[in-house]
Amino acid sequence: MSLEKRLSASFDDSINASQLEAARGASIRNVEAPKNLSKPSDPPGCCACFAPLPEPTEVDVVLIGAGVMSATVGLMLKELEPSWKCVMFERLHAVAEESSNGFNNAGTGHAGFMEPNYTKEVNNPDGSLKTVTTDKVIHVCEQFLSSRQYWEYLVRKGHLPDPDTFIHQTNHIALGIGKDQCEFIKKRYEAMKPNPLFSSMEIAMPNEIEKQKKWAPLILKGRDPSEPTCMTKISHGTDVDFGTLTKSKVKAFMKLGGDLRLFTTVTGLKKEADGRWLVTSKTQAAGKGVNKVRAKFVFAGAGGWALIMLQKAGISQVRGYMALPVTGDWAVCQNPKVVAQHKVKVYAPGAPGAPPMSMPHLDYRTICGKEALLFGPFGSITLKFLRFGSVFDALKALKPHNLFPTIQALSKNLSLAVMLMKDVFKSGHGKLMDIRHYYPEADPEDWTLIPAGVRAQIIKRDTKTGWGMLQFGTEVVHNEEGTIVGLLGASPGASTCVSIALDTLQKCFGKKPEFKKWEPKLKEMIPTWTTDGFAGDLKDCSQRVVDGLYTKTGKGLKVYP
């Protein structure tokens, strides 16, 4: 049969017609199920809701959500304790469909190579820029080195596939447009260059236009020559497809015996007298659709819903916490001729006084093997804590204990609300002008707007002042016994998933007998990891050690220094 005929199935099509004929033999739908196959747990007809629930299944670990965080913690635990029963519940139809999905985040392997928001300005008494701080940028870079070490280990062990499937070497460029920003980029370079982590950083000053054109041609093409630009470059930056990485990690988790349950929403968490957690989940099952498992340890890697999960568990450590969900759109360019000219990631400082997430960037991406450019994000306000969440999420999470901190934090961050509102009401032309600020010759026909993921930023009480504040980082929040833990916040995000997993294990198991047994294995996974110090921080940051780390992890991940 011709392809055309198969695609336009008409009434005289023999395939469709055959379905109209009377079925030969007994159809499965027409006969009664054999009596001897019924089980005591089967729902008793129309009174199913009165039937007793099945006994809870006993497990060691429950992971809520199948994003990059649960995938990392789950895989690590399965490697450390192969005999532990670990079950991962995911409410959606697949792994990594929320923030960890390739198109829902920017895919930047955040190493501080180009992100202006990790270096704070320090001014002279006359208000001119003196220098920038480097403590945060060093911390972010060291955390990403932990991720690189663990991923290299996983590739070597055969737990992750060819690194080409999830990580790509990409020049990381910090861009300054205009006199003030150029000065900032220069000072940033001077402060960072002496550190071994950033020693390969190069600079192209405003008068080195040819060099800049070579590094990032789209940025320079058609630009007003009277407007100065300045760039720094580190060539061993990365673009990470966190979606593919998460899927590969969950595959490895299952290969080691981990149990993934899709279409299953965790709805309740109750601590029992012996300290274990009774975890209730719901599915659209043929039975009652309510399941209970009893777990010794729960990891709430539920993205924006982690706060709601910890509130359900009723742990005191989460009192006063709230989330501020921020979402937005990306502009995506799929024109291969344009993409081929910008195989780099370019970040520039946001407008003066604007919050960190307003920092725009033009990124080369490879997602599931497809190359594209992403610009943005254009911010937007939402009430949902997840992209596929509910408009009642914010209302559900609002409690008497977090009401005042929320009001105080919001009133102190009006600039963020103003920025988001400006983006919400920005016309298509306004968005094009934003793209052209970076890429002056952008053709509107090349750019499509798509939704980005949701970042649920942390609102909490400032321990010093007692006032509510907005925090842009991530925080591992756990109960005193270390039997339940959740990850709140969204930045730097997926890049730090390995330090977050280490922090989780250290905080929850550090004082338990099994941890001593895990130490050699953890050292094998992340050779720079130590029990003292913050998860991910480097003890020895000499040029020799740093070069060794870049070389070894670069070889394994095909990201060459």
Residues interacting with ligand FAD, by CB under 6 A? 64-70, 89-92, 97-100, 104-108, 110, 242, 265-266, 301-303, 305, 309, 377, 386, 452-455, 487, 490, 492-495
Residue closer to ligand FAD by CB (options 175, 220) is: 175
Smallest distance, ligand FAD to C-beta of residue 310, A: 11
- Indicate the residue among 193 and 396 with the shorter CB distance to ligand FAD: 396
Taking the least distance from each CB to ligand FAD, the nearer of 90 and 152 is 90
Task: Closer to ligand FAD by CB, 219 or 494: give it.
Answer: 494
CB of 453 to ligand FAD, least distance (A): 3
Residues near 343 by beta carbon (within 8 Å), at least 6 away in sequence: 170, 171, 364
> Of 165 and 267, which CB lies nearer to ligand FAD in the complex structure?
267
Minimum gap (Å) between residue 445 Cβ and ligand FAD: 24
CA distance linking residue 317 with residue 321, whole number of Å: 9
For residue 64, the cross-strand partners are 89, 300
CB of 494 to ligand FAD, least distance (A): 4
Question: Is 498 or 538 the residue whose CB approaches ligand FAD more closely?
Answer: 498
The H helix count followed by the E strand count for the chain is 17, 20
Distance separating alpha carbons of residues 67 and 113, to the nearest angstrom: 25
Residue 406: CB atoms within 10 Å: 22
Cα separation of the two ends of the chain: 55
Nearer to ligand FAD, 66 or 204 (CB): 66
3-state secondary structure 299-366: EECCHHHHHHHHHHHCCHHHCCCEEEEEEEEEEEECCHHHHCCCCEEEECCCCCCCCHHHCCEEEEEE
Query: At its nearest, how many Å lie between ligand FAD and the CB of residue 487?
Result: 5
Rounded to the nearest whole angstrom, what is the least distance from the CB of residue 195 to ligand FAD in the complex? 21
Q: State in angstroms the smallest separation of the CB of 466 from ligand FAD.
A: 28
H helices present in 368-463, as ranges: 393-397, 400-412, 414-424, 428-438
Torsion (CA) 437, 439, 443, 449 in degrees, nearest 10: -70
Gyration radius of the chain's alpha carbons: 26
Nearer Cβ to ligand FAD (220/321) = 321
CA angle 449, 355, 417 (to 5 degrees): 70
Q: What are phi and psi of 525, to 5 degrees?
A: -70, -45
For the record, the structure tokens of 295 come out as 């777990």
Peptide bond into 116 cis (omega under 30): no
CB of 69 vs ligand FAD, minimal distance in Å? 4
Closer by beta carbon to ligand FAD, 92 or else 410: 92
Q: How far is the CB of 284 from ligand FAD (least distance, A)?
A: 14
> In terms of DSSP bridges, do strands 121-123 and 86-89 run parallel, antiparallel, or are they unpaired?
unpaired
